[in-house]
Amino acid sequence: MQEPIISLQDAVIQQKNVPVLHDVTFTVHPGEFVYIIGKTGSGKSSLLKTLYADLWLEHGEGYVVNFSLSTLARKDVPFLRRKMGIVFQDFQLLSDRSVEKNLLFFMRAMGWTDEEAMKLRMYEVLEQVKLQHLAQKMPHQISGGEQQRIAIARALLNNPSLLLADEPTGNLDPETSKEIMRLFMEINQSMGMAVVMATHDFALIEQFPFRTLLCANQQVQEITKTP
If we measure between CA atoms, which residue out of 115, 78, 49, 189 comes closest to residue 105?
115
Domain interval for residue 181: 1-83+163-227
pLDDT along the chain (227 residues), means of 10: 91 92 96 93 94 94 95 94 92 93 94 94 95 95 95 95 94 92 94 93 90 95 70
Are residues 98 and 73 part of one domain? no
Q: How far apart are CA 169 and CA 209, in angstroms?
A: 16
Nearest C-alpha neighbor of 5 from the set 32, 35, 29, 41 = 29
Write down which residue in 105, 139, 159 finishes a domain: 159
pLDDT number for residue 224 = 67
What is the pLDDT at residue 1?
Answer: 61
Which of 115, 131, 159 terminates a domain? The answer is 159
Examine the domain organization and report whether 15 and 35 are in the same domain. yes
Domain shared by 20 and 32, yes or no: yes
Angle at 51 between CA 158 and CA 180, to 5 degrees: 60
Local structure of residue 150 (DSSP, 8 states): H
Q: Do 129 and 207 reside in the same domain of the chain?
A: no
Are residues 107 and 52 part of one domain?
no
pLDDT value of position 51 = 97
Q: Are 65 and 163 in contact (CB under 8 A)?
A: no
Nearest of 193, 227, 174 to residue 42 by alpha carbon? 227
Please, are residues 196 and 48 in contact by the beta-carbon 8 Å criterion?
Answer: yes
Total domains, the chain: 2
Distance CA 59, CA 83 (A): 23
In a domain, 88, yes or no: no
- In this structure, are 73 and 3 located in the same domain? yes
Give the integer Cα–Cα distance in Å for 56 and 3: 23
With contact defined as beta carbons under 8 Å apart, do 163 and 125 qualify?
A: no
